[in-house]
Structure 1
Amino acid sequence: MNPPEPTDHGVTFDLASLAEELLAEARRGGEGQAARTLIRSADLRIVVVALAAGATISEHHAAVTASVHTLTGRVRLQLPVRVCT
């Protein structure tokens, strides 16, 4: 696994290529998911997660605000007060 990029001078990522790579990995894996941490610093963490069709992520709690961006496909996100699709 590749370590997160240092963010001292800004970074760029080819998200389309990364999404293809992780989705292929997710489809090969038994759990149907793959992830890579792109940025890890004291105040920011960016993780790209790929899920094969029908795969799920179990309930997750985070101490900080999360932002979800769907690059391809569809996601159903169940929050405490509502469901987002």
Structure 2
Amino acid sequence: MGCRDGDWRPKFRRGRCRRTRLCREDRALYFHSFADPLITAGQRTAGLEIFDNLPDIETLVIAVVGGGFITGIAVALKALKPAI
């Protein structure tokens, strides 16, 4: 099984339809980067690992691309340390 590159911007309905069709043709699975509960659980795990290693953390700077990763980290850290 390989990977196909394409224009997957979620704001375009035809992109979503194309993605669905390609996954069906390739018998592949598609995991949304921020709307899939298992993916966001993994992103929150990164926040837990940061807190385990830096329990006194006050500020964290994270590069943002799509926003899913930073959201997961922020949810975990705010739950553990609301003042962050």
TM-score (norm 2): 0.34
Greater relative contact order (Cα < 8 A, sep 6+): 2
Higher CA-based Rg: 2
Structure with the larger helix share: 2
TM-score (norm 1): 0.34
